Amino acid sequence: MNLEKLCAEVRELSAETAEFIRREAPKVASDTIVSKSLHNFVTHVDKGSEERLIAGLSKILPEAGFIAEEGTRHDTNRQYTWVIDPLDGTTNFIHGLPPYAISIALMEGNNVLLGVVHEITSDECFWAWDKGKAWYNGKEIHVSATSHLKDALIATGFPYTDYERVSPFMKTLEYLFNNSHGVRRLGSAAIDIAYLACGRFDGFYEYGLSPWDVAAAVKILTEAGGRVCDFKKGNNYIFGREIIAANAGIFDEFSTVISDMLRE
């Protein structure tokens, strides 16, 4: 399998789908937004984007199955599986607020082979394939060189459906307010991790996530020199609904702080 060629085809599809999303954005009205659950929304654009991605990816690799956020296809009993979020950051999208993104990963078993994250409002595309380095709009990227948490800028996502760990989560914020350059919350985990991969952030953590939120971006991050774990410092960060990610310089310090406060 030529992963570089496959990644190029996925990038082309993501660019075409991003254009569809930009074109449809002005047509989204409040009475067309569906609430799937508390603070979890979907629009015709999410669904249309997913349909386009599944149709295109099925042509690129017909033998692969899918894990897709909006449920257009869900078949995982295959050697290869596409894991896609057709519009990560839907709440931002419906309020006309950047960023929001398309996220596409290809997995073989539990291994991510390639990842593409396309931020739609700025037309920034991040991608990587296994052992192929990490890229942003054609330029190779690396995580930052920050070596101490006190000098780091951290990204996170606020709990929005699962509030069981809100109290310890608030303690992490208090700690980071006092022991880092600050905390940012953009509203898209895929973008947070992609920004970490290119050095805009130094660390990221969140719980309550799904595989389509993180799979593609994690591949980009690790190829850019970043490190990842779950709250127990294990490797269940794609399907385990929790993640700690950082550059190599602060990872040990940062993961210990977050793990001590948030692991169950």
Domain ranges in the chain are 3-140, 149-262
The SS3 assignment for 158 reads coil
CA dihedral defined by 61, 65, 231, 92, rounded to 10 degrees?
A: 80
Per-residue pLDDT of the chain (264 residues), as tens digits, is 899 999 999 999 999 999 999 998 887 655 555 554 444 446 788 888 999 999 999 999 999 999 987 665 566 678 999 999 999 998 899 899 999 999 999 999 999 999 999 999 999 999 999 999 999 999 999 999 999 999 999 999 998 777 889 999 999 999 999 999 999 999 999 999 999 999 999 999 999 999 999 999 999 999 999 999 999 999 999 999 999 999 999 999 999 999 999 986
Q: Report whether 255 contacts 244 (CB < 8 A).
A: yes
CATH architecture of 149-262: 3-Layer(aba) Sandwich (3.40)
Cis peptide before 99 (omega within 30 of 0): yes
CA–CA dist 228, 68 (Å, integer): 23
DSSP 26: G
Calculate the alpha carbon distances from 83 to 136, 168, 200 in Å. Answer: 20, 30, 25
Residue 191 neighbours by CB under 8 Å, 6+ apart: 88, 89, 99, 100, 101, 117, 119, 217
Q: Report whether 103 contacts 88 (CB < 8 A).
A: yes
CATH class of 3-140: alpha beta
Neighbours of 122 (CB within 10 A): 12
